[in-house]
């Protein structure tokens, strides 16, 4: 399978996301001004500071030409994973419910957190064990939603790093094909750096894409 | 026309920046200050002010978490 990793001006986790995806399949970088997803099977909107996070995190990236294609891809049922700034962008684009606000303690946070996989039946979590150890690194990660959402990941008790509502770390849309999370699975793909739990998310996507191909054949 | 868009965090949403400023003021000897909130200000020259609400709702603010007010300058 082939992942597409979006690169905006100011993105900084695109290469890590590409390398992580390449552990389970092919992965290609997609430029923000292109209107071509190059036939990828799943899209990753990676972390960083797209367009300098000007105005609000994700507010301007949401209108990039490539995002029009991503929105169309998502509406057609394509799998989209948004990590950190990517999560913020997907919320701004209306592909995911809610919004990300500045951390309750106002500081940048960078630490390993324990996560509970609340929903192991999504295309993004079916290869996941009940808990994951994955790092977070952000200033604007406090999830807020005024309406009920489909929670996929929660920070384990005592691990909420930002004041997120109900300890929410990751959510999917109603259709279950768009997933956003603040922790960085692409930074947890090798025991050398503490954990390879993040790989389980990439493997889950590969499994889900494989099943879809079988269904359509 | 020159306009000013005032953007505020929605009431009821935790505003840690406002809280931090509110806590800092007494340290400088200012007392009797409460309900401090920190927002953003966008100033722009615009030909057709009828477009402003749409601009505010689609880009300048996130209506889920922010309220806005348009002020003529």
Label residue A186 left, alpha or beta by phi (over 0 means left) and psi (-120 to 50 means alpha). Answer: alpha
Test B60 with A55 for CB contact under 8 angstroms.
yes
Query: Which pLDDT belongs to residue B73?
Result: 87
**Is pLDDT at A183 greater than 80 in this prediction?**
yes
Strand pairing class (A178-181; A79-83):
parallel
Decide: A93 and A124 in contact? Cβ < 8 Å: no
Closest Cβ–Cβ partner in A60, A102, A146 for B16? A102
Interface membership of A144 toward B (CB under 8 Å): yes
Q: Tens of pLDDT along A149-168?
A: 999 999 999 999 999 999 99
The token duo for A207 is 């499994």
> Across residues B30-56, what is the average pLDDT?
96
Rounded distance between C-alpha atoms, residue A148 and residue A185, angstroms: 25
Strand pairing class (A2-7; A42-45):
parallel
CATH number of A2-216: 3.40.50.880
Query: Which pLDDT belongs to residue A215?
Result: 61
Neighboring chain B residues of A99 at a CB cutoff of 8 Å = 62, 64-65
Neighboring chain A residues of B59 at a CB cutoff of 8 Å = 55, 59-60, 63
The domains of chain B, with CATH numbers, are: 2-72 (3.30.1280.10)
For B40, the closest chain A residue by CA position comes to: A55
Enter the ipTM.
0.89
Per-residue CA distances from A10 to A51, A60, A86, A99, B32 (Å): 6, 12, 12, 20, 42
> Across residues A70-99, what is the average pLDDT?
97
Neighbours of A36 (CB within 10 A): 12
Rounded distance between C-alpha atoms, residue A67 and residue A11, angstroms: 14
User: CB-side exposure of A43: number of CA atoms within 13 Å?
Assistant: 31
The token duo for A68 is 């029009």
Nearest to A18 by CA among A186, A138, A183: A186
Length of chain A: 217
Å between A148 CA and nearest CA of chain B? 14
- Enumerate the domain spans of chain A: 2-216
Q: Tens of pLDDT along A128-148?
A: 999 999 999 999 999 999 999
For an interface test with A, the pick among B65, B67, B68 (most A C-beta atoms closer than 10 Å) comes out as B65
Test B65 with A144 for CB contact under 8 angstroms.
yes
**Is pLDDT at A186 greater than 60 in this prediction?**
yes
For an interface test with A, the pick among B8, B9, B11, B16 (most A C-beta atoms closer than 10 Å) comes out as B16
Of all residues in chain A, what percent carry a pLDDT higher than 90?
Answer: 96
Give the phi and the psi of residue A143 in degrees, each rounded to 5.
-75, 140
Test B59 with A101 for CB contact under 8 angstroms.
no
């Amino acid at each position: 399978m082939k992942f597409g990793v979006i690169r905006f001006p100011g993105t900084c986790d695109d290469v890590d996301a590409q390398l992580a995806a390449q552990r389970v399949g092919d992965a290609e970088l997609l430029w923000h001004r292109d209107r071509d997803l190059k036939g990828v099977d799943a899209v990753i909107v990676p972390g960083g500071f797209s367009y300098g996070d000007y105005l609000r995190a994700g507010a301007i990236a949401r209108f990039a030409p490539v995002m029009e294609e991503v929105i169309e891809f998502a509406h057609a049922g394509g799998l989209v994973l948004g990590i950190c700034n990517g999560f913020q962008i997907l919320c701004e684009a209306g592909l995911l419910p809610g919004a990300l606000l500045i951390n309750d303690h106002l500081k940048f946070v960078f630490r390993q957190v324990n996560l509970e996989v609340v929903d192991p039946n999504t295309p993004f979590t079916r290869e996941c064990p009940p808990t994951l150890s994955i790092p977070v690194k952000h200033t604007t990660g406090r999830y807020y939603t005024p309406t009920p959402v489909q929670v996929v990941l929660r920070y384990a008790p005592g691990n909420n790093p930002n004041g997120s509502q109900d300890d929410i770390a990751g959510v999917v849309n109603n259709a279950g094909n768009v997933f956003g999370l603040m922790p960085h699975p692409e930074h947890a793909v090798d025991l050398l750096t503490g954990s390879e739990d993040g790989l389980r998310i990439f493997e889950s996507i590969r499994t889900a894409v494989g099943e879809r191909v079988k269904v359509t054949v | 026309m020159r306009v000013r868009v005032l953007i505020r965090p929605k009431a009821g949403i935790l505003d840690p920046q406002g809280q931090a400023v509110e806590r800092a003021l007494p340290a400088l000897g200012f007392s009797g200050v409460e309900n401090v909130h920190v927002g953003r200000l966008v100033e722009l020259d615009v030909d057709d002010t009828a477009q402003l609400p749409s601009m505010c709702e689609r880009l300048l603010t996130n209506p889920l978490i922010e309220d806005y007010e348009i002020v003529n300058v």
